[in-house]
Amino acid sequence: MFTFNKRIIISLVALFLVVLYLLGCSPKEKSQVVAKSNLKKETKELQSLKVSKEDKTIIPILAYHHIKRNPDNFIAISPEMFEKHLKYLKENGYTTITLDALYNYITKNKPLPEKPVILTFDDGNRNVYLNAVPLLKKYNFKATFFIYPLVIHPKGRSFMSISELKKLHKLGFDVQSHTWSHPYLTKRGGNESGKAYINRIKKELVKSKNWLESTLNKRVEYLAYPFGVYNTEVEKMVLDAGYKLALTIDEGVNIKSTPVTRIKRQIIFKKDTYKNFVDKVTTLPLFVLNLTPKDGEIIYINNPSVSATLQTTKDLNLKTIKMEIDLKKVDIYYNNVTKKISLSKSMQFKKGFHYVTIKARDKNNRLCEASWGFIVKGGGK
């Protein structure tokens, strides 16, 4: 009995092995094919990721406020310094483009010149009209002016007059909206109901757009957030009001995947040296993941953790990584394994909008920047 069984078992095992061998090849090959096609798919995805990561077209947008002799506030520069900027752009092959061109590139993939740059001027200061406009004309540069009509009077003093605004438009410069009265769009008044707040913000967005459109007889579709503040609720209202792009003052440069309501700009400060300016124009995007808090998020505690993870450290000089919150350097902890950058200790935040920038130099010493903003409401919902 035992021998018989053993023989049967041996035969069955042999038969099983033969069958397995015969059948085996086919599934094995099939799995190889599947693996191969997966690999192909993955490689393809990786390649497309790589292409988007290495997006060759980088669009810096500069944000100026005052151009005047003896610059007397932190966002004023002299006409001489301003001309140095224009000279740099010209000599280094930059082409000034319009916001239309940026919008068409982001949404319709319409190509841009090789080294595009956008010049913007906020608030409608008269010194810009008097000192910057002649230089822009001299260099034959395009520029966009963000105006809040509340301060535009028929005669004009520290701000441009209506006729100057019309002249600006006639000269071929782009005039766009900076809301009606320059409020913090994310800030609800103490006694204001949710509904009253929404109506007020809608009015700020629509009234300015309508006034500029009828005064200048042109389309107004771009907005610069006053003080650069925004949140997801405001972004939605901006799109609903008919704007196609909205510009922040989050530091860094734009690429094809930059969200249309979070266009980055480099503010030019009085304290900026010529080298700082060159850094701002030549900045590269720094690719980060897991932004905490999220971009445009409203936070109801006053000590949120602030962190982000580098997507890649390739070509970066890791010793140069730093984080700035509201333009001030903060102490950070960088984890070499997870590539996570976080605050080294808990921080108390005031109510309001906070700007976060992560900066690092690449191995060619070029500045790379990632930035985002969040709102601290504090005191619970």
Q: How many residues bind Zn ion (CB under 5 A)?
A: 2
Task: Quote the least distance from Cβ 278 to Zn ion, whole Å.
Answer: 25
Cα 287 to its chain centre, rounded Å, is: 12
Task: Quote the least distance from Cβ 118 to Zn ion, whole Å.
Answer: 16
Tell me if residue 274 falls in helix, strand or coil: helix
Task: Quote the least distance from Cβ 68 to Zn ion, whole Å.
Answer: 16
Task: Quote the least distance from Cβ 226 to Zn ion, whole Å.
Answer: 5
Q: Taking a C-beta distance cutoff of 8 angstroms, is the pair 190, 145 a contact?
A: no
| Strand (E) or helix (H) holding 13 | helix 2-53
Which of 107-115, 122-130, 158-166, 329-337 is the region at the interface with Zn ion (rule: CB under 5 A)?
122-130
Q: Identify which of residues 150 and 347 has a Cβ nearer to Zn ion in the complex.
A: 150
Establish if 123 lies at the interface with Zn ion (CB under 5 A).
yes
Tell me if residue 81 falls in helix, strand or coil: helix
Q: Taking a C-beta distance cutoff of 8 angstroms, is the pair 287, 53 a contact?
A: yes
In sequence order, the 6+-apart residues with CB closer than 8 A to the CB of 212 are: 147, 149, 175, 176, 177, 218, 220
CA distance 242 to 177: 12
In sequence order, the 6+-apart residues with CB closer than 8 A to the CB of 161 are: 126, 152, 153, 154, 155
Q: Identify which of residues 105 and 353 has a Cβ nearer to Zn ion in the complex.
A: 353
Q: Identify which of residues 261 and 307 has a Cβ nearer to Zn ion in the complex.
A: 261
Establish if 122 lies at the interface with Zn ion (CB under 5 A).
yes
Task: Quote the least distance from Cβ 148 to Zn ion, whole Å.
Answer: 7
Task: Quote the least distance from Cβ 228 to Zn ion, whole Å.
Answer: 8
Establish if 164 lies at the interface with Zn ion (CB under 5 A).
no
Establish if 204 lies at the interface with Zn ion (CB under 5 A).
no
Nearest to 282 by CA among 169, 136, 164, 117: 117
Which of 118-126, 279-287, 326-334, 365-373 is the region at the interface with Zn ion (rule: CB under 5 A)?
118-126
Q: 257 pairs with which residues across the strands?
A: none
- Supply φ then ψ for residue 362, to 5 degrees: -85, 180
Look up residue 168 and give its DSSP letter: H
Site for Zn ion in 53-92 (CB under 5 A): none
Which of 84-92, 114-122, 308-316, 339-347 is the region at the interface with Zn ion (rule: CB under 5 A)?
114-122
Q: Identify which of residues 74 and 300 has a Cβ nearer to Zn ion in the complex.
A: 74
By Cβ distance, which residue is nearest to Zn ion? 122
Task: Quote the least distance from Cβ 123 to Zn ion, whole Å.
Answer: 4
Q: Which residues bind Zn ion (CB under 5 A)?
A: 122-123
